[in-house]
Amino acid sequence: MGPHRQLVDHAAGVARLRESLAAIPAGDPVRLAKATTNLFRPRGRAPRGLDVSGLTRVLHVDPVARVAEVQGMCTYEHLVEATAAHGLMPLVVPQLRTITLGGAVSGLGIEATSYRNGLPHESVLELDVLTGSGDVVTARPDGEHADLFAAFPNSYGSLGYATRLRIELQPLGRQVALRHLHLSDLGELVRLVARVSKERSYERQPVDAMDGVVFGPGEAVLTLATFDSDTVSPASDYTGQDVYYRSLQRYDRDRLSGVDYLWRWDTDWFWCSGAFGAQHPLVRRAWPRRWRRSDVYHRIVRLENRFGVAAAIDRRRGLPERERVVQDVEVPLERLEEFVGWFLEHVPMRPIWLCPLRLREVDGPGGARAARSWPLYPLEPGRTYVNVGFWGTVPIEPGRRDGDVNRMIEDQVSALDGHKSLYSDACYDRATFDRLYGGPAWRAVRDRYDPSGRFPTMYDKVCGR
């Protein structure tokens, strides 16, 4: 499709989006009309949603300037397909294929390149946003709409929806060389993360990406990845019978194709596919490869949430009810050992994922490098954090209520000067939420771009029931 046709189609898609917003009566809930979601919190049903059907494409990739023009509802699966054809990738590619670029920017995202490149919104050069007033404005780091640009990340649609984004790209190796460091001491892992974060290398080899897994007390693996475009050697394939996370315990070194590395966690939804039997050798042979992907597992979970078949079977067997604990939290690196120790003692869930991150540093005036802060997710520039991800359910113990474990985790994260991603259950009261997630900054931007309150408030959208 030619550039002119792309622009015409994009304009038509934006027009349908604006028309669909205008058609929703004032006071009715405003939500996206889309088939997939990567949210895990309850969502009410709206009688009609915003029409985003015309906003799912990559508009243009410039391999020389290393930038891409992308529509807001384009999935990373389609975005990577377009950029990889030029040997490029977005600076951060969240783990799951159906996460959209607009979703990763307004709801945050993370991956193993985040220790170098920060979060997905930090590679955005400009974006067009549909606001609650029905206007589409172009927001950049400076200029008339710089306030919206700064507040959009972590706003979860409460300040508007991205229709187009211009993002930076980086080279993607034809293959990725992996080094799995097996550690029995979490303190040693903390020291290694600090060292690699500072030097961006390990034993004279560049480190392009870094993440880890804690399998239990005394067993952790830190994986260092190097993008390699010069050497092509036999590579592993974890889309078939083998399961990626299990390979971390077996191997010291491994290789994947560049694209397979980006989707290494999607095939088995990290390790959560085991809950559906998809890792059992017999089941795996019968489970079509095209259905070994996160969105299929997510549909199964949504069906269970709707009909409660597994929960009913557990009740007949006399098993306790279970609480959903699906969270990603960021804690400062120096508090990681304390948090993981607490988690392993109080939450019966293994493994857990570790992903170091730092806000991205860019060249500033006079050549000095610095990171900017983002008011709705106020991480500290220059400080190393670690995202800790854990996804599953735990039995509700006698004397406890559904939600108690999630509240315990929230309290512990706050006590350690951390933050929690908001794609899943959140139990904060409004005052605490405003303090942790930039309430005053959010309100100032909301008053300017959505004075009549067409979109739900950030608190109601994240914590409402």
Distance from C-alpha of 387 to C-alpha of 180, rounded to nearest angstrom:
18
pLDDT in tens, 351-367: 999 999 999 988 776 66
Peptide bond into 348 cis (omega under 30): no
For residue 312, report the phi and psi dihedrals to the nearest 5 degrees.
-65, -40
Predicted TM-score (pTM) of the model is 0.94
pLDDT in tens, 59-72: 999 999 999 999 99
Q: Which residues contact 319 (CB under 8 A, 6 or more apart)?
A: 395
SS3 labels along 140-196: CCCCCCHHHHHHCCCCCCCCCEEEEEEEEEEECCCEEEEEEEEECCHHHHHHHHHHH
Report pLDDT for 41.
Answer: 55
Give yes or no for residue 44 having a pLDDT over 60.
Answer: no
Domain boundaries, the chain: 3-172+449-463
Give yes or no for residue 269 having a pLDDT over 90.
Answer: yes
Q: What is the mean pLDDT of the segment spanning 120-138?
A: 97
Give yes or no for residue 307 having a pLDDT over 80.
Answer: no
Percent of the chain with pLDDT over 70: 94
Nearest to 19 by CA among 136, 128, 103, 156: 136
CB environment 412-424: b (16+ within 10 A), e (fewer): bbbebebbbbbbb
Report pLDDT for 30.
Answer: 86
CATH code reported for the domain at 3-172+449-463? 3.30.465.10
Q: What is the mean pLDDT of the segment spanning 155-180?
A: 97
Report pLDDT for 304.
Answer: 76
Give yes or no for residue 203 having a pLDDT over 90.
Answer: yes
Amino acid sitting at position 344: L
Residues 155 and 141 sit within 8 Å (Cβ to Cβ)? no
Q: What is the mean pLDDT of the segment spanning 118-142?
A: 97
Distance from C-alpha of 154 to C-alpha of 20, rounded to nearest angstrom:
24
Q: How confident is the model at residue 371 (pLDDT cuts 50, 70, 90)?
A: confident
Which spans in 242-396 are helix H? 244-250, 258-262, 281-286, 294-307, 309-316, 336-346
Mean pLDDT of the chain: 92
Q: How confident is the model at residue 101 (pLDDT cuts 50, 70, 90)?
A: very high
* Residue located via tokens 């690699």: 196
Give yes or no for residue 210 having a pLDDT over 70.
Answer: yes
Distance from C-alpha of 325 to C-alpha of 206, rounded to nearest angstrom:
36
pLDDT in tens, 235-258: 999 999 999 999 999 999 999 999
Give yes or no for residue 35 having a pLDDT over 80.
Answer: no
Residues 249 and 221 sit within 8 Å (Cβ to Cβ)? yes
SS3 state at 71? strand
Report pLDDT for 231.
Answer: 79
By CB atoms closer than 10 A (0-12, 13-18, 19+), residue 230 is exposed
